Amino acid sequence: MAKYQGKCPLTREADLYAGCPFGCVYCITRQKPPDKVKPTGLEQEIITGAVSDIPLYLSPWTDPYPPCEEEHFRTGSLVRHLSGTGQPFYVITRSLLVKRDIDVIRNSRKSFVAISLNTLDNDITDMLEPYAPTAEERSEMIEELAGIAGLRTVVRIDPIIPGITDGNRLDRLLKWILKIKPFAIGVETLRMDNIISSRMKDALPKEYFNRMMEHYPAITGEPVHPRMEWRLELFQRIASQFGNSDVRACFCRATLPKRITQWDCRGGY
């Protein structure tokens, strides 16, 4: 199910595992009812069904490469089928296990792999993504993937957390991305509600938490982005840094008053 109905690009979506093992403090999936965060069961339907030109998104609510993928091979089986039949798909993950399938993804003409990384600072990922590979491990993987001919590698800078992963930390990340030249970046800011706010307060030093919350309107049960003026200035600054590069800068258009660049939010299609 698309985050913003009627506004997001048309996709198929499949979750192959229940929940996510990486424990990201800011993840909205953690407050979803259990029946909303479970395998969709679509993989067999896709494998046995008709070939489709609608991109398949792996995965909207879970990571497609949890440690148990080594045993169950659900994602591996599905991407091999999609690649073999020429169907478009994209993978979004924090997991180093995706490297196992890179040759399969690279050989598909209509696919890309996006690695989530919003900072190069291990201290931040240790606090907010406690069971995910470290920032250093993911950046090393991204650099390796970006150097593979024929592979469309996307760096997913999502979420940018105001007061924490913006500023100098973001500048350092963007400078590094421009150096390694992946196919694209996908950029979005952290949506905040009262549950995520409470978890962030427990995980962050008080100074960090207070600085982050200064960027948000009143927090309720409905997730909201940082104030629009700040978001637009941030996005336009990022876009300007990538305007003369070969790296696509992609932004979610659903909550913005205007497009930032010509590329859509998915980073590849």
In this prediction, residue 107 carries a pLDDT of 87
Closest CA to 197 of 175, 173, 215, 177: 215
Alpha carbon separation from 205 to 103, 117, 123, 124, 169 (Å, rounded): 42, 21, 12, 11, 17
Confidence tier at 182 by pLDDT (50, 70, 90): very high
Distances in Å between the alpha carbon of 151 and those of 90, 93, 171? 12, 15, 25
- For a pLDDT cut of 70, what percent of the chain falls above it? 91
More confident position, 45 or 71: 71
- List, for residues 80-107, the tens digit of each pLDDT value: 999 999 999 999 999 999 999 999 999 8
**Domain definitions of the chain by residue range:** 12-251
Radius of gyration of the chain (CA): 18
> Does 29 score more than 60 pLDDT?
yes
C-alpha of 106 from chain center: 19
Q: Note every long-range contact of 122-128, with CB atoms under 8 Å and residues 24 or more positions apart, other chains counting.
A: 124/164, 124/165, 124/169, 127/25, 127/203, 127/204, 128/24, 128/25, 128/26, 128/161, 128/200, 128/203, 128/204
* Structure token digits, residue 222: 């409905």
pLDDT of residue 31: 63
Mean pLDDT for the stretch of residues 134-140: 98
pLDDT greater than 80 at residue 36:
no
Give yes or no for residue 1 having a pLDDT over 50: no
pLDDT of residue 220: 92
Residue 147: the pLDDT is 97
Longest dimension (CA), the chain: 54
Residue 177 banded pLDDT, cuts 50, 70, 90 = very high
Q: Would strands 12-13 and 56-58 be described as parallel, antiparallel, or unpaired?
A: parallel
Of 22-36, 96-110, 186-200, 234-248, the range with the lowest mean pLDDT is 22-36
In this structure, what is the dihedral angle of CA atoms 19, 158, 208, 199, given to the nearest 10 degrees? -20
For residue 267, name the pLDDT band (cuts at 50, 70, 90). Answer: low
Higher pLDDT, 81 or 9: 81
Contacts of 95 (CB under 8 A, 6+ apart): 63, 64, 65, 66, 69, 132, 133
What dihedral do alpha carbons 69, 74, 76, 78 form, nearest 10°? Answer: -160
pLDDT of residue 61: 87
pLDDT given at position 80: 95
pLDDT digit string (tens) for 208-247?
Answer: 999 999 999 999 999 999 999 999 999 999 999 999 999 9
**What gap in Å lies between CA 113 and CA 62, rounded to an integer?**
15
Cβ contacts of 242 within 8 Å, gap of 6 or more:
174, 178, 185, 248, 249
12-251: which CATH architecture? Alpha-Beta Horseshoe (3.80)
